[in-house]
Amino acid sequence: MIIADFPYARPRRNRRDDFSRRLVREHNLSVDDLIYPVFVQEGANLLQPIPSMPGQVRYSPDTLLKVAEECVKLGIPVLALFPSIDNSLKTADGIEATNPNGLIPRVVRSLKKEFPELGILCDVALDPYTSHGQDGIIDDNGYVLNDETIAMLRQQALIQAEAGADYVAPSDMMDGRIGAIRQALEENHFIYTRIMAYSAKYASAFYGPFRDAVGSAGNLGKSNKMTYQIDPANRYEALREVAADIKEGADLVMVKPGMPYLDILREVKDYFKMPTYAYQVSGEYAMIKAAAQNGWLDHDKVMMESLLSFKRAGADGILTYFAIEAAKLLKKA
Ligand code: PBG
């Protein structure tokens, strides 16, 4: 790279006018980059606010159809579904996750029927379904059992694929789950169901509001997920996780959370050159909302800057609770 010295080089020349700033702009955010995560629960006519995620609600299957329609109108490519399951259906083994007539498969069927052009992504993990709030089956000491959990995840992914999910997205971090799910899908002829792997998923405190939203926070109590999610101190470990998931058959990989892990995102993209996604998680959303509500930050500007930062760091797309608001702003621009 040739870098001239001042005064020949005046970087401010290109920054002087709007046209010249636009001409040198390296990254852009588009509606095609957005995946909207939503919460759904049984019932009708519900728009139940989630206090720690201002602006986000739990939908019932009927109100969810309206959001799906809005996504289609705005051009948001994919909707990601997370269930808030009635406590009476939660068990130690989370077996409701494998019910072919459970909430999620029913919702997927109705969404794909009404809006076949909208991509549907389903989370594969047991935490919304377990009485203890862990992502898998536990032993007497509360330790999450890997292989027993995988047997459930295979079943869960299969019923989602059967219902018509375009993407299954394992967010549990069990070893070998991508391979097991890919094998189950292939054996059952779901050869086009994509796997978006939560590959580099950290044991993060930024998931707090999400756990309120799916109702696992109380059940989880003081326990944590450190025995399966990645230690926030680690970098190379994330690369090994991504490598394993690609080898096992992932079509797309993810880094999660987002903004505190932009370094990992960049590294994953550079190293593997895979379709790579960032999850701007509930706590990141809550921080921006809270600061904006206090008048401490400019909501729209910070939202758009945060989303652009993922593109600059190498993301091909972003799972974000801001998807609808950002898409509306992009449409106006
Ligand atoms: C759990 C899951 C979590 C999120 C997505 N799937 C939380 C966790 O691991 O405890 C977090 C998403 C968010 O915080 O927005 N399988």
pLDDT tens digits, one per residue of 265-288:
999 999 999 999 999 999 999 999
Annotated active-site residue in 112, 225, 256, 269: 256
Q: For the chain, what is the total number of helices (H) and then of strands (E)?
A: 13, 10
Global pTM?
0.97
The residue that leads in pLDDT, 218 or 6, is 6
Residue where the block lists tokens 């904006």 = 292
Q: What's the rounded mean pLDDT across residues 174-187?
A: 98
Please confirm, yes or no, whether 311 is among the known catalytic residues. no
The whole-number pLDDT of residue 333 equals 80
Q: Is the ipTM of this complex over 0.95?
A: yes
- Taking only the tens place, the pLDDT of each residue in 225-263 is 999 999 999 999 999 999 999 999 999 999 999 999 999
Q: What's the rounded mean pLDDT across residues 156-174?
A: 98
Looking at every residue in the chain, the average pLDDT score rounds to 97
3-class secondary structure, 252 = strand
> Atom 14 in ligand 1: which residue has the minimum CA distance?
207
The full set of domain ranges for the chain reads 27-332
> Atom 11 in ligand 1: which residue has the minimum CA distance?
207
- Ligand 1 atom at minimal distance to the Cα of residue 37: 15
Please confirm, yes or no, whether 256 is among the known catalytic residues. yes
Type and span of the H or E element at 284: helix 282-293
The whole-number pLDDT of residue 259 equals 98
For residue 317, how many C-alpha atoms fall within 13 Å in the half-sphere facing its CB? 21
The whole-number pLDDT of residue 278 equals 98
Count Cβ atoms below 10 Å from residue 36 Cβ, excluding itself: 25
The span from the CA of 211 to the CA of 83, in Å, is 11
Annotated active-site residue in 112, 201, 269, 289: 201
Is residue 305 annotated as involved in ligand binding?
no
- Name the CATH superfamily housing domain 27-332: Aldolase class I (3.20.20.70)
To test the ligand 1 pocket, which listed residue (35, 168, 210) has its Cβ within 8 A of the most ligand atoms? 210
